[in-house]
Amino acid sequence: SAMRPDHADAGWSRNNTFKSAILLNMMDSEQTSQAADASPLEAAEVTDEGSVTGKKKATKRACMPCRRSKVKCDEARPCGRCMQRGMEAACQEDPVSSPGLASDCLQSRLSVDQFHSQCPYLVAILQKWPYQVFLRYCEERSEGEALVKILNSLPPYLSSIMHTAFAAVDELENQTRNKLRLLVPATSLAQHHDSSEKELEGIQNHQWEKLKDRGFLRITWCPQKNRRKDLYVNQYFAKLAGAAREEVLEKLWLRQAPFTMTEFEYLCLLLDDIDNSQSVSLSRYIRCTASWSSNSAPVFLHQTTGKQLDVAGQLEQLRKVHRVITPEEYEQEAAKMKAECQQLPLCMLFNENRTAEDLLANFRSERQESIESMSKTKEGSKKLMQLAQELQGRFRERVELAANLPKENGEAAASRKPLGREEKANAILDKMKMDMDMIQEDAPSASSEPFKYHQGADVLQAKAIPTGIVSAANSFPEMRGNNSGQAHLLFRGHQQQQQQQQYQQPFQPQSQ
C-alpha cells in the first residue's frame, strides 16, 4: 500500500491515456474515411503540399527544398543537394508539420524581410491613416495594391468621414482596453505556452481538412504588435482559389492575392469590418469570382468570421469560413435579414433591390468600374454620396461618445502622482460608477450609446466602461451636396482642421 500511486496522479495518467487514444482514433478514422470517400481527382489533390500530380510522396524526413522539387533527399542536415546549391540555411529547417501553415511552408523559402513584410503599415503611414483599427484590417487583408488604389481615389468628403469614424472607433477601443488592462491581473496577460497552442491548432487542422465544402482560413495574431503571426488554410480553401496550397499561402502572406470583387464592394467590406470591430462574430454574403483566375465566373460566398480575444480584449485569432451558396439561398437570406429589421451589411444594402441573377449577370461589367471612375459619373457620384451618408448614420453615436470621453490636459497628467495597480483599479471603478450615474441622470430616455455597445456578445463589455456625458453631442456634420468635390465638412462648433490635429498625429510603427 505504501507504493500505491496517488489518486490525482492516477487520474492524470488515465486522462492522458484517454486523450492519446482519442487523437490516434481520430487520425485513423480520418485516413480511413478519406481513402474510402475520395475520388481519383480528390486523391490527387491532397497529395504532398497541394500537388495535383499524383506522384508518390517524398520521404517525411526530406528537407523543404527537396520536398518542393520532389527529388530524393539523403536526409542529412544539410543534405548533399542543398550543399551543392548553397542552400544550407534552408535545409536546416524541420520538415513541414502542416502543409497549410504559412510558417512551416514559407519560412525556409522566403527571406526574413519577405516573411516579416511591413507593407500594410507603410501603406497606412503614407496614406495618413494612422488608426489601429484600420491597421488591423490592413494586416488581415492580402490585396495590398488594390487597397492602396482605393485609398488614393477616395473623394475628399468620403475620406473625411472615414477618418472621423476610424478615429472615434480607436478612441473607444483604446479607452476600453486600457481600463481592462488595469482590472486584469498581470499574470492573465501572459502569453500561452506555444506547445499547447500548437497541439490544439494541430487538432483543429485535422478537423478542417476533412471538410469538402468549406474553405477555412485562420490568422494567428500577436496582440502586442497588432500583427499577423501565422496563417493557415485548409485544402478546400486552396481548391476554391484554384491553386496549389503553397502558392495560395505565399500570395496571402505576401499580400499579393488577386482582387476578386468590385472596388466599391471591397470598400463596403472594409467599412463593415470597421463598423463591427467590437463584434466577435460576423456573417455576411459576398459576390466575387469563383477562383483567383481573372476570367472566373462570379459566385456568392457565405463568409462567417469569428474572433478570439485575450482577457484584455486584444485579438489573438481570426477565423473565416467560406461556403459557396446558390443564388436562391442568397435571395432568401437577404429577404430574411430585411424582414427581421437587421442592419444589412453595406454590400447587401446597396444591392437590396436587385435580384441574384442580375448581380451575377452584371458582375463582369461592374468589376471594371473603379472608385475613381465612379467619381466622374453622375450615377457613380450619387452612389458614393449615399455611402457617405450611410456611414454618417452608422458611426454618428460612436463619434459622439468618443468626443465626450474624459481627457486630461498635459499639465494635469504630469502633476498627478503615479498610482499603484490596486489604486488605479479602485480609481477606475469609482470613476465608472460616477460616470454611469451622470449618464442616467442626464439622459431622459434610453442611453445614447450605440446598439453594438449593448450586445452581450461583445467581449470588451463597453457598456461597463465610462463614456462621459453623451447628450452634449458633437456629431457628424451634415453633408453638403453642392460641395461634393471639396471637404467642407465641419463638426458642430469645431472646425475639421482641429479634428485632424487631434486624431492624425504622426504614426510610429512598433518595432519588431
- What would the pLDDT profile of 275-332 be if each residue is shown by its tens digit? 998 899 999 999 999 899 878 999 999 999 999 988 778 888 999 999 999 999 999 9
Q: Kindly state the cell numbers that stand for 485.
A: 468635390
Instruction: Determine the Cα–Cα distance for residues 325 and 343; give it in Å rounded to an integer.
Output: 21
Cα–Cα separations (whole angstroms), residue 324 to 288, 290, 370: 10, 8, 25
* All domains of the chain in start order, with CATH: 19-60 (no CATH), 119-392 (3.30.450.20)
Give the pLDDT confidence score for residue 86 in this predicted structure. Answer: 77
What single string gives the DSSP state of each residue in 97-154? Answer: S-TTBHHHHHTTTS-HHHHT--HHHHHHHHTT---HHHHHHHHH--BHHHHHHHHHT-
Cα–Cα separations (whole angstroms), residue 140 to 74, 120, 121, 255, 336: 39, 9, 11, 9, 30
Residue 283 has φ and ψ, to the nearest 5°, of -125, 130
Q: What is the mean pLDDT of the chain?
A: 71
| Average pLDDT of span 455-482 | 31
| Average pLDDT of span 169-176 | 90
pLDDT tens-digit readout, 355-366:
999 999 999 999
Which amino acid is it at 280? V
pLDDT tens-digit readout, 22-68:
444 444 444 444 444 443 333 333 333 333 334 444 445 788 778 77
Q: Kindly state the cell numbers that stand for 495.
A: 472646425
- The answer on pLDDT for 371 being more than 70 is yes
Give the pLDDT confidence score for residue 303 in this predicted structure. Answer: 95
| Average pLDDT of span 90-96 | 55
Pairing relationship of beta strands 298-309 and 281-289 according to DSSP bridges? antiparallel
- The answer on pLDDT for 266 being more than 90 is yes
CB atoms near residue 89 (< 10 Å): 10
> Which residues have a Cβ under 8 Å from the Cβ of 152 and sit 6 or more positions away?
127
Instruction: Determine the Cα–Cα distance for residues 136 and 277; give it in Å rounded to an integer.
Output: 10
pLDDT tens-digit readout, 376-424:
999 999 999 999 999 999 999 999 999 998 865 544 444 444 444 445 4
- The percent of residues above 70 in pLDDT, for the chain, comes to 59
The model's pTM is: 0.62
